[in-house]
Amino acid sequence: MNAVFGRGLRTLSLLTAALLVGAFALVFFYAPNDADQGFIQKIFYLHVPLAIVALGGFVAGGVYGIRYLRTGDRLHDLRSYVAIHLSLILAVGALVTGSIWARGSWGVWWTWDEPTLVSFLIVFLLYACYQPLRFSIEDPERQARYAAVFSVIAGAFVPLNFMAVRMAQAYVHPRVLSTTGGSMPGSMRLTFAVAVLAMALLFVTLWKYELASKSATFRLRALKRRLAGDEELWTTRRSAAPTL
């Protein structure tokens, strides 16, 4: 295990911070208020990028799951684990901000007759099982293999679920993005694109931070074990996180 995850992290962090500040500046000082919803539509620039990046992260977790199954390289298992772990956090953000938006716009915190909301909740609950699944398996090899299979199947479910909702006829969630251009004016489209990019960069930055942190922890513990030569130090705590 010789990967260095912290390389380029400072530049990436600065770029992410700058882009996030830029995106929020565009949201509040450049993009016009929505003609229909007014000022509350500003939540859109936070809620939708959070959801898109979370779903993208789940798919990325599946891709690394495939890589792990093909190569057996535990680093891919770690990458998959961290991507899914971070996507869950972003998904919580998407659900909470969506609820706040729903309360302001529709007068309710949640509605069950809205396919987009319910399907996102299903995906979230599906991935909420990922950590308990890992924790329930003690053997690290089996844990990594089962988690990879889960991430691949669940990762394939994400785009399928997205397409199914798009094809559903009875939806009421507003459609502002489509292959034909959607209904957003240029200034809103630009703001949205920058917000998605900023959120994606935030995801990559945090992903690299967590990988660097976990990798440093594993290396240090391995070093400690070698130096101490103590059997007691070999016994590691049962954990949902991969061990390298």
Partner 1 sequence: MPALPLDTAGKYVAAAYLVFLALVLIYVAIMAGRLSRIEKDLEEVTELLEQRAGERETVPVD
H/E stretch holding 142 reads helix 140-167
CA 83/CA 130 separation, integer angstroms = 12
Under DSSP, the state recorded for 179 is T
Contact status: 110 vs partner 1 (CB under 8 A): no
70 vs 103, which CB is nearer to partner 1?
Answer: 103
- 53-82 positions binding partner 1, by CB under 8 A: none
CA 121/CA 73 separation, integer angstroms = 32
Contact status: 177 vs partner 1 (CB under 8 A): no
CA 92 to chain CA centroid, nearest Å = 10
Beta bridge partner(s), residue 34: 38
Contact status: 223 vs partner 1 (CB under 8 A): yes
- Contacts with partner 1, 129-168, as mask; x by CB under 8 A: ----------------------------------------
What's the closest the beta carbon of residue 3 comes to partner 1, in angstroms?
A: 17
CA 32/CA 34 separation, integer angstroms = 6
Contact status: 173 vs partner 1 (CB under 8 A): no
CA 63/CA 35 separation, integer angstroms = 40
- Residues present in the chain in total: 244
Helices 74-106 & 115-128, crossing angle to 10 degrees? 150
What's the closest the beta carbon of residue 167 comes to partner 1, in angstroms?
A: 27
Tokens standing for residue 59? 């798919």
Contact status: 119 vs partner 1 (CB under 8 A): no
CA 214/CA 82 separation, integer angstroms = 9
Query: Total residues at the site for partner 1 (CB under 8 A)?
Result: 37
Contact status: 213 vs partner 1 (CB under 8 A): yes
What's the closest the beta carbon of residue 193 comes to partner 1, in angstroms?
A: 18
- CA neighbor of 140 nearest in space, from 216, 83, 78, 207: 78
Contact status: 104 vs partner 1 (CB under 8 A): yes
Contact status: 101 vs partner 1 (CB under 8 A): yes
Question: What one-character-per-residue DSSP string does 69-113 give?
Answer: HHH--HHHHHHHHHHHHHHHHHHHHHHHHHHHHHHHHHS-S--TT
Q: Among 25, 168, 224, 236, which residue sits at the site for partner 1 (rule: CB under 8 A)? A: 224
Q: Among 5, 26, 31, 42, which residue sits at the site for partner 1 (rule: CB under 8 A)? A: 42
Contact status: 7 vs partner 1 (CB under 8 A): no
Residues near partner 1 (CB under 8 A): 24, 34, 36-40, 42-43, 46-47, 50, 89, 92-93, 96-97, 100-101, 103-107, 202, 206, 209-210, 213, 216-217, 220-221, 223-224, 227-228
